[in-house]
Amino acid sequence: MKAATALGISQSRGISNTLQNTFGVDVVSLQGGDSYEDSSLVGGKHLSPDLFISYAQNLFTPAGSVQLDYTLSKNLGLKAQSGKA
């Protein structure tokens, strides 16, 4: 089982890197929730060193959300989200 999990993780890195390069984003990840129906595909990009924008698309419903993260200082930031994925 551990070998199968390790193989899946190693292959997902390649897929993730391909998606990042194809779409010009910094982050591509799967985000889980309380149940499998809450799973989302997330893509995001740093617009500046302090500003990060991401989009999360639910894998099972048409719901999606946009999120902005802005770093004000080392210990303080702002987060805004539209919708729920």
For residues 20 and 26, the answer to whether their CB atoms sit within 8 Å is yes
Q: What is the mean pLDDT of residues 37-46?
A: 92
Q: Which two tokens stand for residue 24?
A: 């010009």
Unique residue bearing structure tokens 């993260």:
69
Say how many residues make up the chain. Answer: 85
pTM summary value? 0.73
For residue 31, the one-letter residue type is Q
Render pLDDT for 2-33 as a digit per residue (tens, 0 to 9). Answer: 444 444 445 566 777 777 778 788 999 888 88
> Of residues 50 and 13, which shows the higher confidence score?
50
pLDDT score, position 1: 37
Helix, strand, coil % over all residues of the chain, rounded to 5 = 30, 45, 25
pLDDT score, position 31: 86
